[in-house]
Amino acid sequence: KGVSPACPKGSNARAFSKNGIKKRAMDNYVKSLYAKGVIREARRTARENVKNLLGPVTGKTVIVIDSMPSGQYQAPSVFEQRGQSPAMM
């Protein structure tokens, strides 16, 4: 009674809470990497590296297509974070 189904009973409750804190910390870290452009730059560098590696090996022009150059998570723009549109700036 009175216990949230998301929070298990007994001694596991403390571990459950720590896991939630760790998950939020990791989520915030990943979001900050996206917001800083680290993921976009890493993916761009990876595309160039694959192209430069495979081009000489195959002897042909290699075109590397990244279907998600910004990664899977789309960080909100600076405008969205401030609750404004670019036209308002």
pLDDT digit string (tens) for 65-80?
A: 888 888 876 555 544 5
Q: Return the pLDDT at 41.
A: 93
Dist. CA 31–CA 15, nearest whole Å:
24
Q: Return the pLDDT at 47.
A: 93
Q: Count CB atoms within 10 A of the CB of residue 75.
A: 19
In this prediction the pTM is 0.56
Q: Return the pLDDT at 89.
A: 35
Q: Return the pLDDT at 57.
A: 93
Question: For the range 55-58, what are the long-range contacts, defined as Cβ-Cβ under 8 Å and sequence gap of 24 or more?
Answer: none
Dist. CA 15–CA 88, nearest whole Å:
45
Q: Return the pLDDT at 17.
A: 80
Q: Return the pLDDT at 83.
A: 55
Sites in the chain below the pLDDT cut of 50: 1-3, 78-79, 84-89
Dist. CA 78–CA 72, nearest whole Å:
18
